[in-house]
Structure 1
Amino acid sequence: MPTLTTGELARELGVSHSAILKWAKDGLITPELTTPGGHHRWDAEKVRQQLREQRQRGDS
C-alpha cells in the first residue's frame, strides 16, 4: 500500500489537515516515515488502527 501525504490522509479520514498534524504532535498517531524535508508520509490502515487503539484506551 502506498504511503499518503498528510493532505491525502486527511481527505481519506474526512478530517482537516491540521487535525492530522495535531494528532501527530500529541503522539496519537505516528507517520510511516518523515522525509528529510520534514514532511510526513502515512499508512492509512496503520493510522486507523492507532486511532482505534486510542479510542479503546479512552473507553477503559
Structure 2
Amino acid sequence: MVAGEPNDVRVKRAGGGWVVHIVEDGKLTVLRFKTQSPAENSADDQRARLGLASKPPIDER
C-alpha cells in the first residue's frame, strides 16, 4: 500500500474463512473471520468509521 491511496474496505473469502482488508491512509490491515456474517458486520463498521458510503461486492476468487 502507498500513502495517499484512497481508503477502502473489502471482504474476501480466503482459505475456508473470510478476511476484511482495510486500507486507511495507505496502510493495510487484515482481519480474519471464520464465517461471513461477522466479517460483513466488521466491514460495515469500518466503512462507517472511515466515512465510506458504498458497499463493494464480495470478492470470491
TM-score normalised to the size of structure 2?
A: 0.37
TM-score normalised to the size of structure 1?
A: 0.38
Structure with higher helix content:
1
Structure with higher strand content:
2
